[in-house]
Amino acid sequence: MLGRTLKILRAAEAHLVQMHQFGNVKKLSTKVSEQLNQLAFFDDESQASGQVAQSFKGMDPDFPCATKNPSAGPEPEYDNVVSGFKLYHHQEPFYFKYNDAVLPELEIAYETWGELNESRDNAVVVHAGLSASSHAKSHKDNPKPGWWEKFVGPGCAIDTNKFFVICTNTLGGCYGTSGPSSVNPVTGKRYATTFPVVCVDDMVQVQWLLLNHLGITKLHASVGSSLGGMCSLTAAVQQPERVGRLISISSCGQSHASSIALRYLQRKTIMTDPDWNKGFYYEGKYPRTGMKMAREIATLGYRSGPEWGKRFGRKMLNPGKPSLCPTFLIESYLDYQGESFCTKYDPNSLLYISKAMDLFDVGEDYGGNVQTALSRIECPVMVIGVKTDILFPIWQQRELACNLKEAGNNAVTFYELDSIYGHDTFLLDLNGVGSAVKGFLETELAEKGRARPQKDLDNAVQ
């Protein structure tokens, strides 16, 4: 029966072709031809199987959600961040921790707020997170809101009426500091993936170079969240005599398997994008699809289930008409996060800096013993964690605070925040995070960290 129907429709198709001079009839005949070919396929299948063909109505195999990303999109925004920060050009070689790697010179992008006092002891370094620039707070040279806009400023958590605040773009980044997208002065071409593997120790060493350049011998405080918390902790371990107070927010003493796994998947989506081209995409196609997917994966660790349950639940975009494209509002949210971020940051920088986070272990250079490393810290410490944090679970902050105390530090403060915003709490919770930071920075602390004599600690390290 299907065969007879095909013969009739084929005759109608021929008639339509003869009438193609009338408006859109030719287009219609083409469409009929495509549909007839599909029917012929099903007819052949039914004849081959000896079964009677049944009526069928399936789904349109057109997935705009999978094909909507153009091969050529807008220019990556990281390449346009060319002003609003200061630049320190370190004209001596910089030696990396791993692989005997060396750069001939360094550029360090940084921004400052407030005034350095006469004794030069009111400086506070704010260590940036993975994808953040040096722009923590707006100012006249860059009036756009910074990534910690409400936390830094006159009367804020980090009060610029009292403190001289410094924030740098991290080594390996793409907002001014030397990284894969920078030009190698030896070759005249971008480093791309010839850039050395970076670790947190390297990042902090670069910041000490900047502080030396600025003539700052000792910090009032070292403050950081997430990757910034790793850097903040490392600074107090590397040069304990130069850090007056330490704040670590939603961070850890060493990365754990779950967070490493999430970051590995992000790197894999970028590196398997054909446009990544082993990192040499700067003169060619941008790996937009891989970068978008990486951000969507990252977003899973940045927020929390309770927040998503409250915001999205099982709300649908188009109730009653599901498809393989996003059906639920939460899917659309992830898609938006990926789309809005994918051209704001250099994919190679994401690879390098996320790898540095995976490699982080504060005890690595101290016999693999975290407590031995933490015993070097001489200053009061505040550790803040969030109960709903997936990326840096609350047990990691509890563990860090406990290890600090067991290492001999008698001035450890630990706050556990009950926020629904997960890891992003440090960006959003001005009341919980901001109040704790302000109190810790401004309170006159009687105890100055560890109680044991320095000679005992030196013996413990040996």
Predicted model pTM: 0.82
Cα 165 from chain centre? 23
pLDDT digits (tens, 9 = 90+) for 175-219: 999 999 999 999 999 999 999 999 999 999 999 999 999 999 999
- Residue 56's pLDDT is what? 84
What structural domains does the chain harbor? 86-256+361-442 (3.40.50.1820)
Q: Which two tokens stand for residue 370?
A: 């975290």
- Residue 447's pLDDT is what? 46
Query: How far, CA to CA in Å, does 1 sit from each of 30, 39, 42, 43, 54?
Result: 24, 12, 12, 9, 11
- Residue 247's pLDDT is what? 98
Q: Which two tokens stand for residue 246?
A: 């330490």
User: How confident is the model over 238-247, as a mean pLDDT?
Assistant: 98
Residues labelled catalytic: 226, 389, 423
- Residue 5's pLDDT is what? 47
Averaged pLDDT score across all residues of the chain: 86
Contact in structure between 209 and 90 (CB atoms under 8 Å):
yes
User: How confident is the model over 5-9, as a mean pLDDT?
Assistant: 47
- Residue 321's pLDDT is what? 84
Percent of the chain with pLDDT over 90: 76
Per-residue confidence at 157, pLDDT binned at 50, 70, 90? very high
Per-residue confidence at 220, pLDDT binned at 50, 70, 90? very high
Contact in structure between 201 and 101 (CB atoms under 8 Å):
no
Cα 290 from chain centre? 14
- Residue 37's pLDDT is what? 52
